[in-house]
Structures are given as structure tokens and as C-alpha cells.
Amino acid sequence: MACLVASLIIPLLLVFEVRTVQRSKGVCAAKSSCNEGGDAHFLQACVSNTPSDHFLMENEHDSEAYFFLNAVCPHLTKTPNVPLCCDTSQLLQLKNQMEAVRTLLRRCPSCLQNFQSMWCNVLCHPDQSTFVEVTAADPYSSYSKSQSKWANADGRFDDDAPSKYNESVDAVTVYLTEDFATKLYQSCASVKFPSTGLYVISAMCSGRPPSTCGPQKFLDYIGAKSNRRSPSDFTFVVVDETTQTPSGIKPLDLDLFHCSESGFNNSEPCSCVDCPQSCAKMDAPVQSVSEDEATRTPWRLLGVSGYVILVSVAYIAISCIYIVVSYMHCLYYKKPDLDNSVFLPPSNQGHKSTSTKSQGMACSGGGANNPNGGNSATGSDCGANGAVGGGCQSSEAVIVEIGVFEQISRRFQKGLNRFFYKWGLTMASQPVAALLFGTMLVAICSNGLHYVRWTTDPVELWSSKTSQAYQEMQHFNAHFGPFYRIEQVIVKLKPNTTAPTDPFYTPSKAADKARPSKFSPILDAHILHEVLYLQENISSLVVYSERHERNVTLSDVCHKPMAPLNDNCAVMSVTEWFQNSHENIDQVRYKTARKRVIVADHYKHLAACIESSTRIDDGTPLHRSCLASWGGVVDPLIALGGFQDAEYERASALVITFLVRNSLNSRETELAEDFEAGYLRKVREFQVEHPHLSVAYQAQRSIEDEIERESAGDIKTVLCSYLIMFGYITLCLGRVGGCSLRSLVDMKVTVGIGGVVIVMSSVVCSIGVFGFIGVPATLIIMEVVPFLVLAVGVDNIFILVQYFQRYRPKNKDESLEVRIATVFSRVAPSMLLSSSAEALAFFLGAMTPMPAVRTFSLYAGMAVAFDFLFQITCFVGLLTLDAKRQRGARLDVACCFPVENCDKARQQEGMVYSLFRNYYSPILFSDTVRPLVIVIFGGWFIACVCMMPHIPIGLDQSLSVPSDSYMRDYFSAISEDLNVGSPVYFVLKGPFPYDDPDKRKLVCGLAGCSLDSIVEQISRAADESNVTKIAKMPNSWVDDYLDWSDPQSGCCRFYEDDQRKFCNASVKLQSCNTCEFDGGRLEGDQFYDLLPFFLRDIPTADCPKAGKASYADAVSLQSLDRQMEGDTSGDGERVMVVASHFMTYHTALRTSQDFTEALTQSRLLAAKISDTIGIEVYPYSVFYVFYEQYLTIVEDTFFNMSVSLVSIFLVTFFFLGLDLVSALFVGLTILMIIVSMCGLMYLWDISLNAISLVNLVMAVGISVEFCAHTVRTFAVNPNPSRLQRAKDSLLEMGSSVLSGITLTKLGGILVLGFSNSQLFKVFYFRMYLGIVIFGAAHGLAFLPVLLSYIGVSHNSMNCALFKTAFVPSYAGYRNPKGNRCQKNPNTAFTPLSSKLSRNPGGDSCSHKIRTYFSALWTIDEGVAASTECASTCLGSEQCEAAVSDL
């Protein structure tokens, strides 16, 4: 292409004489043709100094020349018989040379006409001598007169005319006015190549961009003989006020057209793409929300966000007021917190007393800790004999109505307890059958593992098949084929290193000479040799494919854009400018010009190719082409890296890119993958052999390979983590007591192992079930689901086992099966609550469109459901068998060996339970700590809410590979060194009336096209690249097709003897005729008839607009199953365009935010284009399908969290007996845990993406375990004191939560911190640690304190529930009507001392304590009454045991 460009630089065939004697009007400085001059063998003009005497007339001899002159210089043909300084042969040669120029500049008619006008005036103007001066001439040598026709004065031609001239022009000076030169340059400065987006002016200005070119440099280049397109040296002098000119010189000054003006014959102005002045007023660039917010000036105080300060001050003020009021209240009102909604003094008649103090401000000094040993009733003075329940003693019964919800709840809870009692009794009675059931179920489900399809394709993992990006990718692949597989190497010179001599080439003078200061060391010859050596090794690499039992080479899999004419692979590399030749790199040539020695070496060639990579001749004495060995153009923007502001010579990196064909055919893909494996080995060898070079590289398969390696490498870490958790479970479930052998009996290793096996079986069954269904599995399932199910399972296991260990039967003769059934009936409802809430939350979370999250949610929900099923069957049976073993004093694990002569186990409190009862609970519920807990957690919650909007979104690619992966170096290199981003295609989806010239104006960028065409809009977007992320104007196949089909371009041709057979541009035969169109323009069927030829035509120097190299895959054609009329060859098949694309590039994208913003801006631009042209247009780039998730990740996160919280709330509300308050507390606590996780993500630099979203969904499920058990225990506790119920629930469930899920997971998580995988460290270690810490903190500190303040009231439901469920024989609770809870204080709560005095001592004492204090359900109140027990039953071991048990 460069060559054409150069050709247009052309000029001409004249040359003029050193000594212009006459400088006056009507005198020619040179005319006619003499020698062949210049390297291109053009005809030089003859020195003249004679009057202009050539005439052109519209006759058969000179009609072609005349019409050309009339088209480009109409002012010279206005007056008939105007004498000229040029003849027909010169005009025809100029016309031929201008055909190449026309191909490049016809996009802008004004520019083309100005350019042609300048040359025709220099050549033919009758007053030529007034602005042209011949400065050098050569003697006339042999010139065949037959090569030209000579015009006599009368306008007739004489073929035998003798030579009239003795000298040919070798150098000439042309004088132009400054205005003329400026207008000429400005009219052409913005014209672009549609196929590359580069400026045409760069090819006509030594490769300089318009910003650094200018009129003088432009004229210097196009007039230089060294460009090999001009027969003589033309020196253009731009005359201004200060310029000294020879006598008689009058600079050429003609009226030229501005690029925004119509030219000759009312031609269209240049388009906006090629002339910024033609652009309509552009709308402000569309900014995304994130961009708009980023540019908004924030409100700050002292460098901190003003809103943060405002919220902080407000919260601190409110917290201080709350703490002061709380302490003052506790200081002056040391009264118990009693729920008067049930136990009211008779005088209130069932209504709350107006003098009752706020229940939300209860102080821990009241209640059971009253020094008087009793409880004070609100609103009355009750002494030591006051009712324990809180009401004063009275002979009257208090009747409280039970609402409809409470009746439903009562019956539901009663039914649950009865069901689980019967279920537990059945499982405990048939433990072997329960275990066999579980084993069979696992065996059946595990068969589904054979049908599991594991998904490793990143597209299937992160992009939904219904998503916009996925659908667009499928459409693009179907019509244009998948995007190339990219194999890329980035080479840099390590700092402070010296490159040794490469043994694989022979150094030359080029390698040893000094480097010009403007070039960086990476462009030294020896570095280029080393890079070429690598490229040669890869090109010649032979890899054996075991899958297909054949050898594979790069040639088998690479992209060959010029095949079959050129069978070389497309490689983007600097060495391609040297045609991959070591000799070309080392070549040095010298030339003497005007007593000056010019040295041409590889630096000069690099400079020329950097200036214009389209050159066929670099303009140096080397005369080397810049085109690649495969015939295409290598853009320095792609082949070089690490430069700033287009200073390519200062590049610090060389980039080698191999384009490998991608295919939907699995066989071709596998061959490419096998070659890539060998390619990676070869590059690693090169890296080892060249330690002075920093080599970053990748193949298309690299990410998947490294993820697979990472997964395999972390197996040890994951196994170690799980082994630690398994070991803790097996060791900490048991109790140690008695002799050393007894400890071997009381261990729970078998139970622990069984619990772990149940957890793993749940995961296996879940995978198996979905294997049968056909839902694909992912690696995330194996990494996350076991962790989740283990957390849920372990928590339930610890609660069930420890509750069984603490349980004391009322009847010593109670069978083991009944004991287990009783314990199970009390614990199973809580297990059902948590498991149901988690499973439903996960299943509803599967509604998300994100595949990774949806798959995880399905597998996790099913695994939790199976885990619960196995726990209520297999684990109950296992616990029964283990209890029988322990009762029989047989060793754990080795259960066949009994232990003889060993003391009976003495029941002891567990260490964690004792720690909670004696230390943690008293401190947490003290008057000082409780307000601080609310304030601290509230402040942290508000802080996290403020941090949430600033969580980074996306995924750093380097985190997805191991810390020692070569891909980390590659990611760093592309972030630092690459200066252009991925290609982006704007696709016209569906047929468009391209054959209609008026409609076609909406999709082209030539003169006369719409200012809102797709090309114009993308080009304008590129002018705002900092916002739109569009780097350059698009490649327009429509523009190049119209240029190619122009009859004057000489590209569109048919054989003269067969008008139906296309003549390719590479064919040099004279028997090819140019295409002709009806009406002079391409339209109707002719547009589609010629389009296949354009797409198959291979570009050449004479026809750079041929479409095969750039557009073969840009247009999707559909056959209409009919041939062109009379065509039998098949070449003229009728087609229609069903889809096409316009390609450009994104700017360099370095972060996830950049990629997401690029996608957003491209879609905004495509939507605007669609509205304008009336057809759907979508943008496509290879990364869109991965980054689309980040456009909606915030909404998806909110949706998933909302659905999970709502489902948990509904399940909790239902299973707690329609208890709205308790359900809200569970939801609030989980919400605070999730918000805390978001704060952790901001503080610990954890970005929001699909992986972290999965972890947040999992966090919701695990959070249920931290709070649901505690809230349910609080809700069903009939004690009237909120504070006391909070203490009891914390003691009963909190200790199991801490010893179970918290400590178990904590040990396993800490091991993940030692993983080599950054992904594990960031998204698993950090987030898992946060889940456990925040879950435990909220579940064991905040929630109990909150319940102690505003927990659910002790209502009549709890009274009825407890009566029916736990104390059915208690005489004080008679409810014959079924809808009331009647209590007679005289009967039910007569002071303990009087009851005990009726039957002191022995079993009676124990029985009474159990009877009355089991009704209260509280431990501390039972202990508080132990003084009276001891005074009545002194010395009774049974009494002591009973009190201790309670």
C-alpha cells in the first residue's frame, strides 16, 4: 500500500533546466519528454526555455489526455487553443500515475483535486517559467521517439519529428505561495486509510503524523527523487513575506478547495472522517455513571468525604446519648426486666400497668440476681415470697387470651415436637436400618457421578447463554468465525544487563556500530537477531499430536490472509519489516549525494517503517520494503510496546504476535492446542538461553493450563485444611473423665468420623443427582460446597451431641432410645429451621443468570438438604450405637474391646460451656458492656455501609494463576507495555440495502456519506478516546469496495475475451478491461455481483484496496442459488449480505474497570448508531463475554442477597410459629454480617466478582447457623425476663456454635493462608476468615445483647407451648378450653420453701426441684434457689445433683 501512496507522490515527468533565461508569461521552463530518470524509470522532461506551443484538441488522438486535463485543471481548457508546456504523452503518464493516487485520496474529492491540480499546473501551465526554475540538467541520451507523440505548433502530431532538445531536467525548484501550500496540505491532512485507520498523509510525509508533518515537509517528500516515484528532484519553496526569490519569479497561487467545500463539477465535500471541518456539531461523549461520578468534585472536609464526617458525627452523638441514658437508667432503676404480658398483677386485669418501665432498658442487676433471692414484680412491692414469675402472689387466677397466630403456632410447634420425637425414637430403635438407608441412598446417587459434565470453559462459567454478550458472540462466530487464537511474546531488555553476542548469527558492521540517540536499546541489531531467531524456531517447530497421531506445524494452524498467492503465516513482529531476514538486518549501504555520504542501515529502515509501515520502498539507499513476508502491514502500534506519545523509536519492548486460526471444529482446535503446547516449551527454552532478556509470553490455552495446574497444586493445601477440621471434630466431640482408660471410652472419634462422612456423602449425592439431571459442575463446587456443608453439618452435630451430653432424664429408668428421642425432639426443630432456610435461600439464589453462581446455588442447596436428611437418619442411628458402646464401657473405634474395672464416668461441663457460663456470659451481659456492644456493632455497620459503594469490581487476571506462573509476568507486561487494546467489531446484524446508493450513505465514510453514518460516528468517538475507549477510525469495507470498483482505480477488471471472468489485480495482462456501471455508479444487482470478487481479490501495489487481506472475514454472504446471467463458471454467484462488521481497536485497557467501561461505552455507541441507521448494530470484542457480568454485578449481588434474606425470613417466621419479631432479628443479624463482609472486601482489597458473589451467597447460608439456633432457643424459653432468656440461649446454643462451626472452620481456614494460589488467599482465605469471625461476633455477642433489650415478648404462646411440650402433668397449667393459658399463682408458684418443707429430703427434694424449676427453663433461677434447697435437704446428694443439673 505504501507503494501506491508513494506513487501518488509521483510526479511527473518533467524536469527543467538549470539556466532559465526567460521568466515571463507564455514561456516553458521544460516540456516534452527526454531521458528515463529516477529509480522508477519515469520519463524526465526536457529543458526548454521556449514558448509554450503544445495544443490539445478533442480529436481521436488526444481526447483521453484532453479530458483528463479538463477534469484536473479546467482553468487551462476554458479558452480554446490555449498553449501548454506539456504534451499528450506527459499527460497520459501523469494520468496513469494519478490512478494510484486517486485510489488513496478519492475519499476526499477536494484533496484529490487540489493535489492533481498542483501537478498539472507544474507540468502544463503556459506561464511555467514564472514559478518553476530548472536547477540541474543532464545531457540528453537515447530516447525512443516511438514512445511519445510530439505536437507541432499547429496541434498536429509528427511521429518522425527530430529531437529538439539536448538536456533533460534532473532537478527543479517550484515556488508556491504560503496560502497555496497551506490549503493544499490542510485539505489532505486528515484523509485516512479505511483498512488501517492510519493517515494517508503519513505515507506522503516520511511517515510523520499530521501533527508533526506540515506543508513544507509534505512537499519535500512528494518532490524528492529518493522516494523512487519521481523522475527528478522537485524542491518546493514556500514563499512568504521574508523569502528572497530570483528576479521574475511569481509563486504559483491558485484557488484551492477547502476539504469541507465542493470541488469541480459540484463534487461532494470530504466526509467528517477525512475532514474535521465537515463534521456536524458532535454531541458530548456519552459518559457512564462511573465516569460521571469520577469527574464530579466530591464534598470534602479536611481531606475526608464530607458525608462520612456528617454520618460519623451524627452516630457518635446518638451513641453518646444512648450510653448516658442507659447507664443512668440502670443506676436509678435496678429492677428486673419482666414481661408483663402474661404474668400481670391481678389488679391490672390482664392489661399492662401504665407504670411499667421500658422493657428495652433492662439492667442485668435484676431478675435472678436479686440479692433477696426472689423477683420483684413491676408496679408492686413483693417481698421474698413474691411469685417467681414476676407477678405478686394472689388468690385470683389471671386469664390471658391467646391469638389466632399463637394457636396456629402452638399446634405447629406441638406437632413438630411430636413428629421429631417419634422420628428420633424410630431411628434410635433401628440404628442399623438407618445407616443402611443412608448407605443405599449414597450408592444410588453416586452412580450419577458417571454422568457429570465438568465445565472448565471460562465462557460457560461466567456468561449465561441468555446474556446479551453470549448471544452476540454466538452470532459473530456463526457469521465471521471465532476470533483468532493469540500466541504472543513480549521481549524486553533486563535493566543493567549487556546482551552477549548471539552464537546463531554472524555480527556485522550494523551490529557493531553506534546506536542513534533516539533509538532505545531494544531496537539494536543483535536484539533483533535474537528475536528473529526465536521467531524462526517457532515457525519451523514440529509438534506431534498424540490425539490425532500426526505432526503439527505453525503453517498447519496459522492464519494466512494472502493465501494462495502468499502462503506465509501472519505474524506481527518488527522483524517482518526486514522480511524475516538476518541479511536484511545486517545490510548497510552508502550513498554520496551532493558531497555528503549517506549511510543506510537497519536504523534508517526502522525509522522509515515506523513512519509508514505501508511502504514498498523505505526511501533509503537500501530500497527495502516495509511490508511483511506474508504481504501485509505490520503496525508499529502492535509490534512495539512501552513507548509514549507515538515515540515508537523509544519503545522498550518488542511484541511478537502469531495469529492462529480458531475454529468451532473440535479437531482443528485440538491441533492448535497441541501446537501451542510445543510453542510454550520452545519459548521457555529461549527464555533460559537468553538470561539478559525479559520474556513474557502466553498461548490461548495458557489460562486454562495454569488454572488446572493451580487446582492440582492446591490439593495438598485443601486436604490439609480439611484434615485439620476433621481432626478437631473427632477429638472435641467427646468428654474425658475418670481413669485414663475411661477417656478412651468417652471419646467420640467414631461419631466425629461418621459426621464427616455424612458431610462428604451429602456433597457426593448432590453432584450425583445433578449428574443425572444434566446440570454441569464446576471447580467452584469442589472448592466451596464442601466447606459450606461441613460448616452446616458440624454445627448441627455439635449441637445434637453436646445437648445429649448435657441432658438429664427425669426418670432414671428412662431408656436410651427415649433419651435420644427426647433430645432429638428439642434440637431437631432448630436443625430443620436452619437447614430449610439455607436450602431455600440457595435454591432461590439459582434464579441468577450468572452460571457459576447458579450452579453453586443448586449444588449447595441440594447438598444442605441431603446433609439434613442424613443427620436425622444416619447420624441419629450412629449416635445411638455410640451411646450404647459408651454405656457398655467399650473403647471408641475398637468397640469390640470392653474396659474392665473402670469408674463410671462422672459428668462434667465442657470447657467451652464452663467458659461461657462463668466468664463470657457475665461479662457480655454486664451493664457496662451491653451498651458498648450495641454502639460498636452499630458503628461498624454504618462504616461498612459507607464503604460498600467503593468496593472494586472485577477480577485481576493475575489472581487466577499460581503465584509462580509465567502468566503473571505476561499480565504485568501487557499492562505496562502494550499501547493498544483488543479489536472491537461493530456488527450490522441482518440484511441492509447496500445496493441502494442513498441508503448506503449511512454505512460509508466517503465524501457525500451521511455525517451520522456508522463510520462517521465511530470516528468521532475515536476523537474522544479517553472516554469512549475507541482508539481509531474503523476499517470500512464499504469504502474500500467503492474505491476498488471505481473504473479509474484499475482494480475491478474482467478479461476482454470473457466479460464474465474476473481479472485479479495481480494479473498484469493488458487484455483486462475495467468495470463499467450503468449510470456511472455501483448500485442494484451489480453491487452484489462484484462483491465476492472484491473479497477474494488479493491486494497489490497497483491495487491496495483489494479486499481479501482486510475484509475476507468482514462480510457474511448468503447464496441466492442463482448465477449471473450467462455465467457457467460459478464465479458470478448471486449473493446477499446477511451481516458485516466494521473493525477498530480499543485503547490500551489495563484494569477490570477499563474493560468494563470499554464495553459500556461501545454499547452506548452501538445503540446510538442503531437508532440512526435503522438496523441493529452491536459491538463485539473477545473479552466482552467475560466482563459483561460486571455491568450488572451490583444488581445481581443485591438480588441474590435480597432473595436469600427474604427466604430465610419466611422460613424462620414459619418455623418459629409465625414469630415476626424473631424472624426479623435473624434477618437483621445476617444482613449485618453480609454488610460487614462488604466492608472487609473494601478494606482487604477483595473485588466484587462471580467468585466473591458465590462466597457472599455462601456467607448468607453459614450466617443462619450463627443466629437461628440462638433466636429459636430464646423464643421458646418461657422465662419472663428477656435478659435471662438471652443468657440461657447464649449458654445453651452459643457454646455449641463456638466449639462447633467457629473453631472447626477457623483451624481449616488458617491453613488456606499458606496456599501458593493468590485466588485462594484472596477469595477463600480472606473471605472465609471474615465469614467465620463476623458470624461468630454477631451471633455470640451482638445478637444475644440485642435480644436482651428488645427480644420477642414472653407471651401466652410460650406458656402454652412449654406446658404441652415439656410439662404435660403440671397441675398449674390447665387449659380445658384449648384457647387460654390459665395460671393460678397459689398453685403454680407457691414459694419454694413451703413446697420443700412438706416433704423434705431425699428423692422428694430432687423431684420438687425438677418439677418446678424445669418449668422455668432457666438454670440461674434454679441455682438461685439452691440455698433453700440446701437448708431443707442438707446432705442430700440427690438435691445437689438436681440443682447442678439445672
Average pLDDT in the 624-640 region? 89
What integer pLDDT is reported at residue 1298 of this predicted model? 84
Q: Picking from 114-118, 530-534, 592-596, 810-814, which range would have the lowest pLDDT averaged per residue?
A: 592-596
Give the DSSP per-residue string, 185-250.
HHHHTT-B-TTT--BHHHHTTTT--TTT--HHHHHHHHH-GGGSS-SSEEEEEEE-TT----TT--
1122: helix, strand or coil: strand
Residue whose C-alpha is closest to residue 31's, from 154, 116, 123, 95: 123
Instruction: Give the whole-number percent of the chain exceeding pLDDT 90.
Output: 22
> To which H or E segment does residue 1381 belong?
strand 1380-1383
What integer pLDDT is reported at residue 569 of this predicted model? 94
Q: Which three cell numbers stand for residue 247?
A: 528576479
What integer pLDDT is reported at residue 711 of this predicted model? 73
- Residue 1087 near residue 1081 (C-beta atoms within 8 A): no
Give the DSSP per-residue string, 1045-1080.
H-GGGT-SEEETTEEEEE--TT---TTEEEP--GGG
Would you say residue 240 has pLDDT above 50?
yes
- Residue 391 near residue 1385 (C-beta atoms within 8 A): yes
Residues 6 or more apart whose Cβ sits within 8 Å of residue 1193: 953, 1248, 1249, 1250, 1253
- Residue 655 near residue 978 (C-beta atoms within 8 A): yes
pLDDT in tens, 1266-1325: 888 888 888 877 777 888 888 888 888 888 888 878 888 887 788 777 777 788 888 888
* Residue 296 CB neighbour total at 10 angstroms: 8
pLDDT band at 166 (very low <50, low <70, confident <90, very high): low
Residues 6 or more apart whose Cβ sits within 8 Å of residue 1202: none
Q: Which three cell numbers stand for residue 642?
A: 512501552
Average pLDDT in the 1217-1221 region? 82
Range among 101-110, 286-295, 716-725, 1037-1046 rated most confident: 1037-1046
3 state SS for 478-519: HHHCCCCEEEEEEEEECCCCCCCCCCCCCCCHHHHCCCCCCC
pLDDT band at 90 (very low <50, low <70, confident <90, very high): confident
Residue whose C-alpha is closest to residue 8's, from 138, 77, 108, 104: 104
Would you say residue 1210 has pLDDT above 70?
yes
DSSP structure class, residue 890 = B
Q: Which three cell numbers stand for residue 486?
A: 493469540
Residue whose C-alpha is closest to residue 842's, from 830, 833, 854: 854
Q: What is the number of alpha carbons within 13 Å of residue 1180 lying toward its C-beta?
A: 28
Would you say residue 308 has pLDDT above 50?
yes
- Residue 319 near residue 933 (C-beta atoms within 8 A): no
pLDDT band at 37 (very low <50, low <70, confident <90, very high): low
Range among 33-42, 274-283, 328-337, 747-756 rated most confident: 747-756
What integer pLDDT is reported at residue 48 of this predicted model? 80
- Angstrom distances, CA of residue 460 to CA of 12, 467, 779, 853: 61, 11, 12, 12
1117: helix, strand or coil: strand
- Residue 1124 near residue 1113 (C-beta atoms within 8 A): no
Residue whose C-alpha is closest to residue 1146's, from 1135, 1157, 1130: 1157
> What are the b/e assignments for 1259-1287, b being 16+ CB within 10 Å?
bbbbbbbbbbbbbbbbbbbbbbbbbbbbb
Average pLDDT in the 986-1011 region? 89
**Pairing status of strand 1115-1123 against strand 1373-1374:** unpaired
User: What is the distance between the alpha carbons of residues 1245 and 1259, in angstroms, rounded to a whole number?
Assistant: 18
> To which H or E segment does residue 89 belong?
helix 88-105
Average pLDDT in the 279-288 region? 54
Average pLDDT in the 1200-1214 region? 90
Average pLDDT in the 535-551 region? 93
Would you say residue 1108 has pLDDT above 70?
yes
- Residue 203 near residue 612 (C-beta atoms within 8 A): yes
- Angstrom distances, CA of residue 716 to CA of 711, 1363, 1382: 10, 54, 63
pLDDT in tens, 481-506: 999 999 999 999 988 766 555 444 44
Residues 6 or more apart whose Cβ sits within 8 Å of residue 162: none
Cis omega before residue 521 (within 30°)? no
What integer pLDDT is reported at residue 1179 of this predicted model? 96
User: What is the distance between the alpha carbons of residues 1321 and 181, in angstroms, rounded to a whole number?
Assistant: 65
The sign one gets for the Cα dihedral 547, 549, 554, 557 is negative
pLDDT in tens, 876-915: 999 898 888 877 777 776 666 666 655 555 555 667 788 8
What integer pLDDT is reported at residue 513 of this predicted model? 54
Q: Picking from 38-42, 666-670, 1144-1148, which range would have the lowest pLDDT averaged per residue?
A: 38-42
Q: Picking from 156-170, 177-191, 444-458, 490-504, which range would have the lowest pLDDT averaged per residue?
A: 156-170
- Residue 1075 near residue 1054 (C-beta atoms within 8 A): yes
Would you say residue 633 has pLDDT above 60?
yes
What integer pLDDT is reported at residue 1335 of this predicted model? 92
The sign one gets for the Cα dihedral 1357, 1362, 1367, 1371 is negative
Instruction: Give the whole-number percent of the chain exceeding pLDDT 70.
Output: 74
Would you say residue 1430 has pLDDT above 50?
no
Q: Picking from 455-459, 994-998, 1095-1099, which range would have the lowest pLDDT averaged per residue?
A: 455-459
Share the mean pLDDT of the chain: 76
Residue 650: φ, ψ to 5°? -90, 15
Range among 23-32, 286-295, 372-381 rated most confident: 23-32
pLDDT band at 644 (very low <50, low <70, confident <90, very high): confident
Q: Which residue would you say has higher pLDDT here, 711 or 1291? A: 1291
What integer pLDDT is reported at residue 596 of this predicted model? 66
Would you say residue 395 has pLDDT above 70?
no
Q: Which three cell numbers stand for residue 924?
A: 457480655
- Return the bridge partners of 1178, or none: 987
What integer pLDDT is reported at residue 310 of this predicted model? 67
User: What is the distance between the alpha carbons of residues 812 and 38, in angstroms, rounded to a whole number?
Assistant: 120
pLDDT in tens, 138-164: 776 444 333 333 334 343 334 443 345
Q: Which three cell numbers stand for residue 1211?
A: 422460613
User: What is the distance between the alpha carbons of residues 1421 and 1389, in angstroms, rounded to a whole number?
Assistant: 13
Average pLDDT in the 1359-1377 region? 38
User: What is the distance between the alpha carbons of residues 1035 and 1105, in angstroms, rounded to a whole number?
Assistant: 12
Average pLDDT in the 1220-1228 region? 89
Torsion of CA 393, 397, 400, 406, to 10 degrees: 90
pLDDT in tens, 1160-1176: 999 999 999 999 999 99
User: What is the distance between the alpha carbons of residues 174 and 29, in angstroms, rounded to a whole number?
Assistant: 11
- Residue 973 near residue 696 (C-beta atoms within 8 A): yes
Would you say residue 740 has pLDDT above 80?
no
pLDDT band at 1074 (very low <50, low <70, confident <90, very high): confident
User: What is the distance between the alpha carbons of residues 1254 and 907, in angstroms, rounded to a whole number?
Assistant: 43
pLDDT in tens, 942-984: 889 888 988 999 888 888 888 888 999 999 998 888 888 899 9
